[in-house]
């Protein structure tokens, strides 16, 4: 892409009513769509979140390899600025950046990160969200192996969709040959991404799917709103959060339900650093 083909974009200052610009760094099947929908709704106006850097590793590599470091630095703010103008009447605006180790280190990605770190008109906030990598694997397997097309999400009350998710997400056989290596690789990737954000002094907050959805209180949601500078920061309850959901929970609460070979998985992970991932 040629940046000279585009007129420079300028963010509307937040103090003048412009939306807070956010980049959501999160892997697939980690609840990002539901989380952003809830955050933006409770902040005062729901906004979409697209996978603008590529929805999988191949697409991310293809997108980022085409740009130099300088072009990546230009693209990240210009693109987010255009998105902010498209949703100028909302409090928050964001796009999703799915990180992959191979693409994260490309010149364009590094240029993007450097620009995020130094850009102040306004300051861009980064949400880095992770999810139990075992649950991510199970979710991916559910969608990959189902004989019937399973929607990515279900609306609350869509019983047909929820039943399909329940049936497709139970009795799965998780391959064991490389499970420990895959879990190690997932955790190592999390550490790489977080270290980059810290080392580059990028304004960010780290959260987890579990802290947002598996607790009885809404403390983590309020911590997010404090970081974003928008939304309720006091007296928020999980009932309030649940009432704002536009997507229903679709994953099994117990691995003994989702996994046909639960005993074998338990035996493999028991006593290892990953034992706590089982529930």
Cα separation, 264 vs 173, in Å, equals 10
21 bridge partner residues? 93
pLDDT, position 2:
65
Where in the chain are the domains? 3-131+177-245
* Domain 3-131+177-245 fold: Rossmann fold (3.40.50)
**Per-residue CA distances from 276 to 176, 220, 253, 271 (Å):** 17, 21, 14, 9
What pLDDT shows up at residue 63?
97
What letters, b where the CB count within 10 A reaches 16 and e where it falls short, cover 129-160? bbbbbbbbbbbebbbeeeeeebeebbeeeeee
Tracing tokens 């959901």 back to the chain, one arrives at: 245
Give the CA-trace dihedral at 249, 256, 210, 165, to 10 degrees: -20
Strand partners, 204: 126
Q: Across residues 20-26, what is the average pLDDT?
A: 98
pLDDT of 252 higher than 90: no
Q: pTM, whole model, 2 decimals?
A: 0.95
- How much of the chain is helix, strand and coil, in % rounded to 5? 50, 10, 40
E-assigned strand segments in the chain: 20-26, 92-97, 125-130, 204-208
Q: Could you report the per-residue pLDDT of 113-130, keeping only the tens digit for each?
A: 999 999 999 999 999 999
For 36-57, write each residue's pLDDT tens digit. 999 999 999 999 998 899 999 9
Q: What is the pLDDT of residues 47-102, one digit of tens each?
A: 999 889 999 999 999 999 999 999 999 999 999 999 999 999 999 999 999 999 99
- Cα 59 to Cα 102: distance, rounded to the nearest angstrom: 12
**Region 209-218 average pLDDT:** 97
Computed over every residue of the chain, the mean pLDDT equals: 94
Residue 192 neighbours by CB under 8 Å, 6+ apart:
101, 104
Residue carrying structure tokens 């991932």: 277
At 143-185, the pLDDT tens digits run 888 766 788 789 888 888 888 888 878 999 999 999 999 999 9
Cβ proximity of 168 and 162 under 8 Å: no
């Amino acid at each position: 892409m040629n940046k000279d083909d585009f007129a420079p974009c300028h963010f509307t200052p937040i103090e003048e009513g412009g939306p807070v610009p956010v980049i959501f760094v999160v892997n697939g099947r980690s609840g990002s769509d539901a989380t952003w929908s809830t955050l933006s709704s409770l902040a005062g106006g729901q906004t979409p979140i697209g996978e603008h850097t590529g929805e999988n590793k191949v697409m991310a590599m293809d997108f980022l390899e085409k740009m130099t470091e300088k072009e990546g630095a230009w693209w990240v703010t210009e693109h987010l600025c255009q998105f902010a103008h498209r949703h100028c009447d909302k409090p928050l605006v964001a796009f999703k950046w799915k990180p992959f180790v191979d693409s994260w280190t490309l010149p364009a990605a590094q240029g993007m990160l450097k620009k995020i770190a130094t850009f102040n008109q306004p300051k861009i906030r980064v949400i880095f969200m992770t999810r139990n990598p075992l649950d991510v694997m199970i979710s991916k397997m559910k969608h990959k192996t189902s004989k019937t097309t399973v929607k990515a999400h279900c609306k609350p009350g869509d019983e047909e969709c929820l039943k399909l998710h329940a049936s497709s997400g139970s009795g799965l056989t998780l391959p064991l040959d490389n499970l420990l290596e895959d879990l190690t690789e997932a955790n190592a990737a999390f550490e790489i991404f977080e270290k980059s954000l810290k080392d580059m002094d990028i304004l960010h907050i780290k959260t987890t799917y579990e802290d947002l959805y598996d607790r009885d209180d809404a403390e983590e949601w309020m911590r997010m709103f404090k970081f974003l500078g928008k939304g309720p920061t006091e007296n928020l309850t999980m009932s309030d959060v649940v009432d704002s959901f536009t997507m229903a929970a679709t994953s099994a609460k117990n691995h003994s339900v989702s996994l046909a070979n639960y005993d074998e998985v338990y035996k493999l992970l028991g006593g290892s650093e990953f034992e706590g991932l089982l529930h």
